Structure 1
Amino acid sequence: MRGVEPEDWEAFHRFDDNTDEMRRADRVHPPRSAAGQREWAQKQALKEPVDDRMMLAVESLADGALAGMMTTSEIDHRAGRFSYGVAIGTGHKGRGYATEAVRLLLNFMFGERRFHKCEASVWAFNDASIALHRKLGFTEEGRLRDHEFFAGRHHDVVLFGMTAAEFAARHPYPSEI
């Protein structure tokens, strides 16, 4: 993972051209011009993380291509909770990018920022994301029925959670510093 760079605009523009990718990541947004996408990427590249809210690029180590993105949100320092979202482009799916990106983020947020719990919301029809969260050790904590509207109908959202202790038990921190 790395910060968003201004030259990432083209890859993000390709992601936004694919309605299915947008929907899996978040929701479908109106089309953005190339100039608008360049301006957005420039702003993201210059934006400092505030209150542990950040947007990161997921990059392929093999060729440096932008594979996807990750964001943190719903930051609650009092309770020690945060949420995140991860989206991987179609050409990079099934190669472990999401798994590695989530592990890196949780290692940082739990091990460096002292958060206690991570929460994730997944569209109930997104079998790959549900499987990812289960594989990583998240616990399914509930389901919000008919919670989100897109593609002409309402959809359920599955809620997942993992505590820092649960993460550390499955993914130990490095023993040598």
Structure 2
Amino acid sequence: MPGPVFLRGDRVTLRPPEDEDLDFLQRNHNDPDVRRSMPRVHPQNREATREEYVEGYDESVGLLICDGEAGDTERLGFCALFAIDGDSGRAEVGAWLAPDAEGQGYATEALSLLVDYAFDERRLDRLNAGRLATNDRSAALLDRVGFVEEGRRREYYYVGGEHVDRVEYGLLASEWDDG
């Protein structure tokens, strides 16, 4: 039985990951197609997956992206609000989808729900995001949600045998238009 829904959209729901989600999370964390879009270089066993995705979100908010039309049981990906600095009112966001869920608008809706939560319920003022300069899908997602490109960290990651820049994005609460 899946865990309780935390945020609900038109097509997706976001819920905390449970042990029953570990196979999905580990399979996708290790998938070369998913890993290529993130700075992930180490394989992850089941225990490391549990530590990162189920136990590793005490202060942060890690949520499984599920298909709301499939009774909240079809897992699509993962998103997180992390590095939360309540004093300064800022946090980081990130998301990934399983390869077969890409290109269908799920990430846009999930990230929008997470941004709503961050600004409306957590009363944050700023969200940061980063992407590999080679990840055009993330660039399009961040643009669709309203993030603004703010800079670049040159040769920040080592991915696929080469150094890759990190492109930095930001979104202010005053810029957010969720309607």
Unaligned runs of 5+ in 1: 173-177
Whole-angstrom CA distance in 1 between matches of 2:127 and 2:112: 12
Residues of 2 paired with 1:84 and 1:5: CA distance? 20
Residue identity opposite 2:23 in structure 1: E
Task: Report the Cα offset of residue 109 of structure 1.
Answer: 0.8
| Structure 1 residue ranges (4+ consecutive) displaced by more than 6 angstroms after TM superposition | none
Q: 2:178 aligns with which of 157, 168, 171?
A: 171
Task: Say if 2:39 and 2:157, in contact at 8 Å, map to a contact too.
Answer: no
RMSD: 2.0
What is the deviation of 1:28? Answer: 2.5
Q: How many residues align?
A: 164
The AA in structure 2 aligned to 1:30 is: P
Instruction: Work out which of the residue numbers 47, 67, 70 in structure 1 matches 2:79.
Output: 70
Which of residues 130, 140, 155 in structure 2 aligns to 1:121? 130
Q: In percent, how many aligned pairs have the same letter?
A: 32
Greater relative CO, 1 or 2 (CA 8 Å, sep 6+): 2
Q: Indicate the residue corresponding to 1:158 in structure 2.
A: 167
- Structure with higher Rg: it is 1
- Cα separation, partners in 2 of 1:40 and 1:131, compared to 1, 3 Å: closer
Equivalent residue number for residue 92 of structure 1: 101
Structure 2 unaligned runs (5+)? 1-13
Q: C-alpha separation between the residues in 2 aligned to 1:147 and 1:42?
A: 25
How far 1:132 sits from its partner (Å)?
A: 1.1
Q: Which residue of 2 aligns with 1:55?
A: 62
Higher helix share: 1
SS in 2 for 1:155: strand
TM-score, structure 2 as length reference = 0.83
